[in-house]
Structure 1
Amino acid sequence: MILSTEKKNNVLKDLAMLIEDHASEIIKANQLDLEKAGDLDPTLVDRLKVDDKKVKGMVGSVAEVLGLEDPEGKILSAYDHPNGMKVENRVVPFGRILIIYESRPDVTIEAAVSAFKSGNKILLKGGKEARNSNLVLVDLWKKALKANEVSEDYVEYLDIDRVATQKMLSENTYQLDLIIPRGGEGLINYIKQTTNVPLMISGRGNNFIYIHKNVDFDMAIDIVLNGKSRLSVCNAIDKVLFDKDLPELGKKIALIAQKATDIGLEVLGDEQVVSSTSIAQKADVDALMPEEFLSEKILFTVTPDQETAVKTINKYSGGHSAVIITNDKEAATQFQYEVDCAAVYHNASSRFTDGGQFGFGAEIAISTQKLHFRGPVGLAQLVSNKWFISGNGQTRG
């Protein structure tokens, strides 16, 4: 039986209250994880840390999903067959979803909230570095489900080792309908090679900005710097392409390089960039183009024109987000159609590629594939469809 929207929302209301009431317990458990982090990469530490702001963010994500329409059971189309049958196409959940993720305890809330309200059961496989935080959060989930007499298997945490994980992937021991891997290319490629279960790929960033020759350069500076306002997120900017016909190109490169350095960025560049400013370090551009930095690094290069910029982005980006900064609306529209990314911006920061910013509330992933869905994935995207046909004995001749 499907859960009613009222029942789902009651679970979520209780979950939000439990998170608020147990904020200190969540942060204390997270402190244990941070103490054990050791030499963990700084960007992963940033994702791992839970403070009052992150706890409030968890509560806020639950509240946002509470206000969203429940997609389960929605009728997409209906057809009265000439023979008297009623043919309906309805929204149904995937079923059992596994999400594999690293470092971010807030995913334990956000991913499960979206999956639960859309009618799915979710299995959470967090990284060992966040184990204490995740166990506390899943315990709050269990309390909210139990209080509303809803089966606790709607949200399960897989506290299993590498061998058991490999067995789960290769033999589908948990009868999964969908796997969402959130992590680096190594993790994603390993899962692709290990399982036959369908995947929804939450891929890498490696996002680009193209600064057109006709541009408000003060705006360009703001958007580039905002794109590096957080280093550990997949919607951060790594590469900036300057049109060679940008007026006072050298002067403007030097200016934005200085601004980038002022906020602690390491500016890398090609020969033309390095010749424009001593701040930039000469880089092996070909080697760095495919790399997602997740660090203070930012690469500046000069490109001959918009066509070349588009080709460069389509060749090297992770298919996540790309930006054009220009006063030329026609050029912007062409860029947005031709660049093969999930989100393509004109005169706005890539940092907005986020389920909450797009009105979804919590997100479970940002899909960089074209099927089943592309871009931020919330409860409205964690569903499939199914045909419901009702008759009174019709047969086909």
Structure 2
Amino acid sequence: MNIDDYVVEKAKRASTAARILSNMGTEDKNRALFSMAKQVKKNKDDILEANKLDLENAKKSGKNNAFIDRLSLDEKRINSMAEGLEKVASLPDPIGEGVKMWKRPNDLRIEKVRVPLGTIGIIYEARPNVTVDASALCLKSGNSVILRGGKEAINSNSAIYNIINRAAVDAGFPEGSMEFIDITERKAVEIMMKLNRYIDVLIPRGGKGLINSVAENSTVPVIKTGAGNCHVYVDADADLDMAEKIVVNAKTQRPAVCNAMETLLVHKDAAEKFLPHLGDTLRRLNVEIRGCRRTQKLIPNIKLATEEDYEEEFLDLILAVKVVDSVDEAIDHIYKYGTKHSEAIITNNYTSSQKFLREVDAAAVYVNASTRFTDGGEFGFGAEIGISTQKLHARGPMGLNELTTTKYMVYGKGQIRK
């Protein structure tokens, strides 16, 4: 079978399964998700062995530390994937939920209810956990899913898929509920992007290149999970001890993910007290600092930040720093360089905090908290299918509700339109 026929056949099966899934009861879906979680835990040695092969290949090909971190699995991360399945199972089922109901003067009763999107294609790179998270959310929300991971994680993704798919089918999900494309050639993605007849939406997860390529070339509707050039702004009225803890967390807790801070903005009135001590702290944590000329005077022996540094999503222990004269200048900088992902202000000034919340255009805006909280699990969604930085049809961490659409159910008594 050639690549075209292979991908189309999988899409057909997923589309057929979606019809059955849309009518499955909550108890049946939850039972299957708990079974999937049990099998992930039971077969973690097989998953780790497959991941070991991917890691060896990645290191041989010279992948950087950030890439290796995203690709790596250990017992803790595997347990976290299983727990994600259990959390999604414990969440309310959105399907059939009545969003709104009203009656018209002609006595028509109209109800707006949640329904599945249909068949969702997930195109992702070196994050094996996406195989589990995406499957859990799609199945609980009544959607079938087509998974196409990157070649660097092919062994890990295959092992995980085989385990959870077998568990799901054994627990009552129809064949085709989850389809996995194990062809790593780019042509498989190109075919998926044109299968409007069978695929209802595509969600790309990965680097800027992948996301832009899918968004620009797909005829299937796309939900963009954008890159994260995230900022933390330390205001003149910030608690500097709190600010340092938040900055360190946002940059170093897991630098290779999209909600990590990439640029630090500091008000000129706080910079002299804040930056020298912060610079020493970050150096001890192996963070490379690239700052503006005012920052260079306060943190010696750092590189001068370039325009490209302020635009960059480093996904590494590298931080761009700029001293600004006002909250307005900080907001202007974020508008110019931000990716509408996650932005934070550290301040005890209510007026400044409200101005920042109101004027910054991003999926998540924080006051006195780390950008690292932009995550489906942290928001109480159980897991996430991605973090959308667009405004249609979803924005921010995407959980169960974001994988639904609505339809109108209209009840009449013989009315006709005049």
Superposition TM-score, scaled by structure 2 size: 0.91
- How many corresponding residue pairs? 393
Q: Cα offset for 1:83? A: 3.9
Equivalent position of 2:277 in the other structure: 255
Say if 1:105 and 1:134, in contact at 8 Å, map to a contact too.
Answer: yes
Equivalent position of 1:275 in the other structure: 297
Mapping 1:223-372, distance limit 5 Å: 223-228=246-251, 229-246=253-270, 249-284=271-306, 286-372=307-393
CA distance in 1 between partners of 2:125 and 2:188 (Å) = 17
CA distance in 1 between partners of 2:172 and 2:392 (Å) = 35
The AA in structure 2 aligned to 1:112 is: S
The AA in structure 1 aligned to 2:71 is: L
Q: Cα offset for 1:392? A: 4.3
Equivalent position of 2:400 in the other structure: 379
User: In the TM superposition, what whole-angstrom CA distance separates every residue of 1:146-195 from its partner, at most 9, and x where no partner exists?
Assistant: 212321211111122222321221x3166211111112221122112211
Say if 1:258 and 1:279, in contact at 8 Å, map to a contact too.
Answer: no
CA distance in 1 between partners of 2:278 and 2:197 (Å) = 51
SS in 2 for 1:152: coil
1:123–1:202: structure 2 CA closer, same or farther, 3 Å change rule? same
The AA in structure 2 aligned to 1:4 is: G
Mapping 1:158-237, distance limit 5 Å: 158-160=181-183, 161-169=185-193, 171-172=194-195, 175-228=198-251, 229-237=253-261
The AA in structure 2 aligned to 1:269 is: G
User: In the TM superposition, what whole-angstrom CA distance separates every residue of 1:285-316 from its partner, at most 9, and x where no partner exists?
Assistant: x2211111111110111111100100110111
Single out whichever of 259-268 and 136-145 deviates more from structure 2: 136-145
CA distance in 2 between partners of 1:213 and 1:85 (Å) = 58
The AA in structure 1 aligned to 2:192 is: M
Q: Cα offset for 1:390? A: 2.9
Say if 2:145 and 2:179, in contact at 8 Å, map to a contact too.
Answer: yes
CA distance in 2 between partners of 1:127 and 1:274 (Å) = 40
CA distance in 2 between partners of 1:220 and 1:78 (Å) = 46
Single out whichever of 74-83 and 265-274 deviates more from structure 2: 74-83
Equivalent position of 2:150 in the other structure: 127
Say if 2:290 and 2:302, in contact at 8 Å, map to a contact too.
Answer: yes
Say if 2:266 and 2:322, in contact at 8 Å, map to a contact too.
Answer: yes
SS in 1 for 2:232: strand
CA distance in 2 between partners of 1:5 and 1:308 (Å) = 50
The AA in structure 2 aligned to 1:365 is: G
CA distance in 2 between partners of 1:396 and 1:241 (Å) = 60
Provide structure 1 residue ranges, at least 5 long, that are not aligned to the other structure: none
Equivalent position of 1:34 in the other structure: 55
Alignment match of 1:155 (pick from 160, 163, 178): 178
Say if 1:100 and 1:126, in contact at 8 Å, map to a contact too.
Answer: yes
CA distance in 2 between partners of 1:262 and 1:234 (Å) = 23
CA distance in 1 between partners of 2:37 and 2:191 (Å) = 34
SS in 2 for 1:395: coil
Say if 1:368 and 1:375, in contact at 8 Å, map to a contact too.
Answer: yes
Provide structure 2 residue ranges, at least 5 long, that are not aligned to the other structure: 1-19
CA distance in 1 between partners of 2:191 and 2:169 (Å) = 30
The AA in structure 2 aligned to 1:71 is: P
The AA in structure 1 aligned to 2:150 is: G
Mapping 1:134-149, distance limit 5 Å: 134-149=157-172
Taking every aligned residue pair, what percent have the same amino acid on both sides? 39
Alignment match of 2:76 (pick from 53, 59, 75): 53
CA distance in 2 between partners of 1:115 and 1:189 (Å) = 23
Tell whether 2:140 aligns with 1:117. Answer: yes
Say if 1:32 and 1:132, in contact at 8 Å, map to a contact too.
Answer: yes
CA distance in 2 between partners of 1:318 and 1:83 (Å) = 48
Say if 1:43 and 1:294, in contact at 8 Å, map to a contact too.
Answer: yes
1:141–1:173: structure 2 CA closer, same or farther, 3 Å change rule? farther
User: In the TM superposition, what whole-angstrom CA distance separates every residue of 1:248-305 from its partner, at most 9, and x where no partner exists?
Assistant: x334211111111111100111111111221422222x22111111111101111111
CA distance in 1 between partners of 2:98 and 2:344 (Å) = 36
Q: Cα offset for 1:84? A: 4.3
CA distance in 2 between partners of 1:331 and 1:80 (Å) = 44
Alignment RMSD (CA, Å): 1.4
Tell whether 2:38 aligns with 1:17. Answer: yes
Say if 1:209 and 1:323, in contact at 8 Å, map to a contact too.
Answer: yes
SS in 1 for 2:257: coil
Say if 1:75 and 1:90, in contact at 8 Å, map to a contact too.
Answer: yes
Q: Cα offset for 1:82? A: 4.2
Single out whichever of 72-81 and 46-55 deviates more from structure 2: 72-81
The AA in structure 1 aligned to 2:297 is: S
CA distance in 2 between partners of 1:8 and 1:388 (Å) = 24
Say if 1:250 and 1:273, in contact at 8 Å, map to a contact too.
Answer: no
